[in-house]
Amino acid sequence: MAAASLVMTDDSTVSRLDRGLLEVEKLFALISGLAVFALMILAVISVGGRNALNQPIPGYVDWIEQAMPLIAFMGISYTQREGGHIRMDLLVGNLKGRALWLAELATTLLILILMMLLVWGTFAHFLRSFDMSQPLWSRDSSMDIGLPIWPAKLIVPVAFGVICLRLMLQVFVYARAVVQGTERPVGVPLIADAATQAALEAATVTGDDNDDKGH
């Protein structure tokens, strides 16, 4: 079932880059969803083992901690692509043309700068944990069963790196839209009114969607 989208697509290079990056974002979002599902199964097994056998899964909390970056960060770039993060639509929605794209450019550029700083900081945090001379290549481990923590720490800069690529593409599209005065640029989420958003949500449920050609 296809997902409804506010992102226009065509045969341009920018649109092909957008769709290529979207495949990576979809994969990351799928991994995030599978992590949620795995934790649900793990919770059922742990609670069932505690009640039936008085033996919960060893290191249950440790596994939850390991999965948190998967759940929290792997889907953020896909959400950015679809315009799903918190936005001031009441303000931005009243802008048109170059004023709208200039506002989007300014906010997206600020987010990009912040995310690049976060990539630098989180990767440095990973490096403090990773050491190939140590057992399991880790300088630290979880409290209960001693799981290495560096894999969970590595997930964060990787996920942030993907959203930086998305933001770079969006900055380019918005900047070009400001210069050219494009009405409906490809590769970025367009502003939609409440009726359009409701129609897209309905299309997501029913699978009736024309995402490949935009809206």
Q: What is the pLDDT of residues 105-152, one digit of tens each?
A: 999 999 999 999 999 999 999 999 999 888 889 998 988 888 999 999
The pLDDT value given to residue 37? 95
For range 173-181, the mean pLDDT:
94
Query: Rounded to whole angstroms, how far apart are CA atoms 212 and 209?
Result: 8
Is residue 215, in this structure, part of any structural domain at all?
no
Is residue 82, in this structure, part of any structural domain at all?
yes
Is residue 199, in this structure, part of any structural domain at all?
no
Is residue 1, in this structure, part of any structural domain at all?
no
Is residue 28, in this structure, part of any structural domain at all?
yes
- Count how many domains the chain has: 1
Residue 87 pLDDT class (50, 70, 90 cuts): confident
| Structural domain of 132 | 13-193
The pLDDT value given to residue 56? 78
